[in-house]
Structure 1
Amino acid sequence: MPRRSYDQYCAVSRALDAVGERWTLLVARELQAGPRRYTDLHADLPGVSTDVLASRLRDMERDGLVARRPLTPRGGAALYELTGRGRALLPVLRALADWGAPALEERRPTDAFRAHWLAPPLLGVVERACPGASGTVEVRLETGVFHVRPAGPGGREGGYGDGPAERPDAVLVLSEEACVRIVRGALTPAEAVARGEAAVEGDGSIARALGAGEFTPS
């Protein structure tokens, strides 16, 4: 099927030609956390039909945003992962997350939730709390674990992943409610720790910054 287009010679229009379809940016959100099998993507995108998800993945592969590779040398199941152009959508996702975070005032009864969906806005919170810091923060909620990697010195790109970090430089333990308040801007990580609503493990600069706001970049 040919790609639908706004047929406008405009950078915004061209971008929306590629990612403006329903579910496309949410697929990108999931794949920013790492390569996924189709079944994993479907499980973490509640509400999407199998036909629509398959169609979006085909479109993203055609547009150079996603690559597919065999899970094992013998073939079988495939892994989907973002290409460089797909990974370049991270600032777009973060901007949307920052813009949308204030709307997380109340969770509706019909709202699905996955812990790692809080990673994009929390990544910005950690970068602002720890300017110039380098490291990985593992975030533990009662509903799941994810990790964020703030942008660091030397142009290191920030990012996030689902599940525990391999070697975290800090571990932030808090409730889902406290995490939502932090990403909405109603609470800082240091305030959450001071009030006993969160705990930080680790002894490096990024852990100190999250726990007490003391970090000063060298």
Structure 2
Amino acid sequence: MPKRWYDDACGTALALELVGERWSLLIVRELMYGPRRFGEIKAALPGISANVLTQRLESLEEAAILLRRKLPPPANVQVYDLTAWGCESEPAIMALGKWATRSPLHDPTSYMSGASLMMSMRTLLVPGRMGDLAFTLGLRLGADHFTATIGGEDIVVARGMAEAPDVTIEAETAFPILAVLYGKLPPEAIEAEGGLRIGGERDLAARFAGLFELPAKIA
């Protein structure tokens, strides 16, 4: 790295030097489930300037956390993608996020990007609740599309909509989905207000909604 913040051999200190600058870790989160163009990353991170995003992308590339590449025709555009080592940061980001949600300062009604929503599902999945549940979920959040493969006590996420998912969930913002998954509101009530659309096998969708739980707040 071109600069060192800490005179400390601890790996945690080095981790902060790699991704501790403002926005860096959130950029990594946005790239966790597939490559993104510059404008797509910026749109997913309200408040970041183009100049700061450019600086952070350059720093993360220098640190071998991400790389730039060009998609083949017909797309033929430059994208940013995590390296294999960069992808290995997901468990650490998930653990940090789960720890922070126990704070009274955590507001589950705030803005969440598509990648953040998908990571929250992977993070807040309650062990043992899935049982024999196994299906493919296609989720659209605004302009973002994801495929989630549910089964074996895990949720595997990739960008892009599955061709024939068993269940589809569509919303313009994350709030109605969060209200169902973590607020435990009936999906029908949210659908009636027009903020959520669920298609496919609704019994699977109902079982899916019961898989998640926010951790208890600290006293």
Q: Which has the higher helix share?
A: 1
| Structure 1 residue 136 corresponds to structure 2 residue 136 | yes
Find the counterpart in structure 2 of residue 170 from structure 1: 167
Find the counterpart in structure 2 of residue 149 from structure 1: 148
- CA distance in structure 2 between the partners assigned to 1:137 and 1:172 by the alignment: 8
Find the counterpart in structure 1 of residue 4 from structure 2: 4
**Structure 2: which 5+ residue stretches go unaligned?**
192-196, 212-219
Q: Is the 8 Å Cα contact of residues 98 and 124 (structure 2) preserved in structure 1?
A: no
Q: Deviations over 1:154-195 (max 9, x none)?
A: x9773353x644442322457844433356x442xxx634x6
Partner SS state of residue 61, structure 1? helix
Summarize the Cα distance change of 1:178–1:41 in structure 2 as closer, same or farther, 3 Å threshold.
closer
Report the alpha carbon displacement of residue 81 of structure 1 after superposing the two structures with TM: 0.4
Query: Where do 1:72-111 residues align within 5 Å?
Result: 72=72, 77-101=77-101, 103-105=106-108, 107=110
Summarize the Cα distance change of 1:75–1:55 in structure 2 as closer, same or farther, 3 Å threshold.
farther
Partner SS state of residue 70, structure 2? strand
Find the counterpart in structure 2 of residue 181 from structure 1: 179
Q: Tell me the amino acid that sits aligned with residue 122 of structure 2.
A: L
Q: Tell me the amino acid that sits aligned with residue 119 of structure 2.
A: P
Summarize the Cα distance change of 1:99–1:58 in structure 2 as closer, same or farther, 3 Å threshold.
same
CA RMSD after TM alignment? 3.7
Number of residue pairs the alignment of both structures matches: 201
Q: Is the 8 Å Cα contact of residues 31 and 80 (structure 2) preserved in structure 1?
A: yes
Find the counterpart in structure 1 of residue 186 from structure 2: 192
Q: Tell me the amino acid that sits aligned with residue 169 of structure 1.
A: D
Report the alpha carbon displacement of residue 200 of structure 1 after superposing the two structures with TM: 5.1
- CA distance in structure 1 between the partners assigned to 2:65 and 2:120 by the alignment: 22
Partner SS state of residue 41, structure 1? helix
Query: Where do 1:59-70 residues align within 5 Å?
Result: 59-70=59-70
**Structure 1: which 5+ residue stretches go unaligned?**
214-218
Report the alpha carbon displacement of residue 119 of structure 1 after superposing the two structures with TM: 2.2
Report the alpha carbon displacement of residue 120 of structure 1 after superposing the two structures with TM: 1.7
- CA distance in structure 2 between the partners assigned to 1:72 and 1:178 by the alignment: 36
Report the alpha carbon displacement of residue 11 of structure 1 after superposing the two structures with TM: 1.8
- CA distance in structure 2 between the partners assigned to 1:8 and 1:151 by the alignment: 41
Summarize the Cα distance change of 1:105–1:50 in structure 2 as closer, same or farther, 3 Å threshold.
closer
TM-score (norm 1): 0.70
- CA distance in structure 2 between the partners assigned to 1:192 and 1:56 by the alignment: 41
Q: Tell me the amino acid that sits aligned with residue 120 of structure 1.
A: M
Percent identical: 28
Report the alpha carbon displacement of residue 68 of structure 1 after superposing the two structures with TM: 0.9
- CA distance in structure 2 between the partners assigned to 1:127 and 1:7 by the alignment: 39
Q: Tell me the amino acid that sits aligned with residue 179 of structure 1.
A: I
Partner SS state of residue 46, structure 2? coil
Q: Is the 8 Å Cα contact of residues 120 and 160 (structure 1) preserved in structure 2?
A: no
Find the counterpart in structure 1 of residue 214 from structure 2: none
